[in-house]
Amino acid sequence: MTTSLSPDFLWGGACAAHQFEGGWNAGGKGPSVVDVLTAGANGVPRRITETVDPHEFYPNHEAIDFYGHFREDIKLFAEMGLKCFRTSIAWSRIFPQGDELEPNEEGLKFYDEVFDELLKYGIEPVITLSHFEIPLHLARTYGGFRNRKLVEFFERFARVCFERYNGRVKYWMTFNEINNQMNVDNPIFLWTNSGVTIDEGENPQQVLYQTAHNCLLASAKAVAAGHEINPEFQIGAMVAMVPIYPYSCDPEDIMAAEIAGRDRFFFPDVQIRGYYPAYTFKKFECEGLDPGFQDGDEEILRAGKVDYLGFSYYMSNTVKHDADTDPSKSTSGALRNSVENPYIKVSEWGWGIDPQGLRNSLNTFYNRYQIPLFIVENGFGDVDTVQPDGTIDDPARIDYLRNHIAAVKQAVLEDGVDLIGYTPWGIIDLVSFTTGEMKKRYGMIYVDRDNEGNGTMERRKKASFDWYRTVIATDGAEL
């Protein structure tokens, strides 16, 4: 039996504009929803400030300054042998306020240069349109995606990108981890996904579904526009996949896992099938919710079905029907009835290490949807130490990736899953999303920068750099 993946398999690396670019106000860029996120820490949530407060430290403002280092960084990606590179376009570089009619040429030029540099080395860009980078003005003035006006603004932004980068970018995704916002217990998710905050006295589920409906319309309109501009475009949905296991074979636990899973599947169910699943309509009926359907919305959703499903995978969750957990204290997206899984170890940040869960997820998705899948994030956040001789050994990260790639190979070679590629998260160290730390590192390239913003920004290869280069060079045969 063959032990390698196809030579066309897209091995790559993933980042997101706000977590690595820096240059938060360079080249005419406007502030985004993450530019008002302070630094948190392990177990300490980040705060959202009203505006950019000069007395606060905002780790994303400078991040690792890819904005100023992109040629050097892409050269390193090429040396590693990456076949693709996933990043996002910071919406507020292109439309600084979000509601302008004309885009900011300087912002567009930055991505011209980045994409040309990638293509120079034969690295295929894989682009997310919105990875937590909604212009702050749209959040503060319009209330974010709870307002239907944002559908129009997002479609305009998407069209500008599709037209400008047509011929250079083929793989797109609309919204990053669009299903993360289901977690209304942690306000950071709805804020970063959709620029929405919940006011006192509001029913969070009502706000959530109204927002979700507008995001789904925006995604569908963007997909239809992209296919009209270039029918060859591959435009995907992107969801956070955290498979939910029942704690026991108690049928109550099995059903609790099934119900909790709906929050994960609702968005891709709509984006892939083109219509709402039955369980959501029943939920609206039982809880008196109104997502705000208007005439013509069904057609919009049907006309905007995605071509593939991109997803992130870091960990699994386990639920017990009668457990009572406080999810607002968690930075791992824990659910209300989450419990620890006695069979798996967790990282320092409490994220469960479960490679089998990735094979399991690939099968779940492929069984449910039968469309190509793309693992666009997977990785291990860990503390790295530079040795006195300048080397950085990261055996725990190599181990994590090795075991997860082995599970990926089983899903493809034994289970027959159609998988486009694999892009490990934070291929170069970047700012952690949930905590705002630099200390929680994912990279195979180290960046000299700490939690407080000190450091030279020097780049350095970790041991995982050479390891991953061999994995790619052997099409995954040598792990």
By CB under 6 A, what part of segment 76-135 binds ligand P53?
Answer: none
Asked if residue 15 binds ligand P53 (CB under 6 A), the reply is no
Nearer to ligand P53, 138 or 315 (CB): 315
- What are the C-alpha distances in Å from 299 to residues 39, 90, 177, 291, 408? 42, 29, 24, 16, 36
What's the rounded Cα separation, in Å, for the pair 177 and 182? 10
Among 432, 439, 449, 462, binds ligand P53 (CB under 6 A): 432
240/289 with CB nearer ligand P53: 240
Take residue 84 and report the two structure tokens written for it.
């693709």
Q: Which of 21, 124, 377, 437 is catalytic?
A: 377
Stretch that binds ligand P53, among 35-43, 103-111, 428-436, 443-451 (CB under 6 A): 428-436
152: enclosing H helix or E strand: helix 149-165
Query: What's the CA gap between 280 and 219, in Å, rounded?
Result: 18
Nearer to ligand P53, 161 or 173 (CB): 173
Residue type, 7: P
70 binding ligand P53? (CB under 6 A): no
Q: Supply the minimum distance, in Å, between the C-beta of residue 286 and ligand P53.
A: 28
Minimum distance from residue 197 beta carbon to ligand P53 (Å): 17
Structure tokens at 77: 């990606």
- Polymer length in residues for the chain: 479
The CB-of-33 to ligand P53 minimum distance in angstroms stands at: 13
Tell me whether residue 177 is one of the annotated catalytic residues: yes
Q: What is the DSSP string of 159-198?
A: HHHHHHHTTT--EEEEETTGGGGG-TTSHHHHHHHHS--P
Which parts of 376-405 interact with ligand P53 (CB under 6 A)? 377, 381
- Name which of residues 322 to 361 contact ligand P53 (CB under 6 A): 333
CB neighbourhood size of 80 (10 A)? 22
Taking CB under 6 A as the rule, does residue 440 contact ligand P53? yes
Q: Which residues contact 318 (CB under 8 A, 6 or more apart)?
A: 244, 245, 246, 247, 338, 339, 340, 341
Binders of ligand P53: how many residues, by CB under 6 A?
A: 18
384 vs 359: CA distance, rounded Å: 28
Estimate the crossing angle of helix 251-273 against helix 278-287, to 10 degrees: 110
Q: Cβ-closest residue to ligand P53? A: 434
**Footprint of ligand P53 on residues 220-249 (CB under 6 A)?**
240, 242
Q: How far is the CB of 158 from ligand P53 (least distance, A)?
A: 19
**In the window 149-188, what residues touch ligand P53 (CB under 6 A)?**
176-177, 180
User: How large is the C-alpha radius of gyration of the chain?
Assistant: 21
Q: Residue 194, interface with ligand P53 (CB under 6 A)?
A: no
Q: Which of 155, 177, 458, 478 is catalytic?
A: 177
Concerning whether 228 is annotated as a catalytic residue, the answer is no
Binding site for ligand P53 (CB under 6 A): 16, 19, 176-177, 180, 240, 242, 312, 314, 333, 377, 381, 425, 432-435, 440
* Active-site amino acid positions: 177, 377
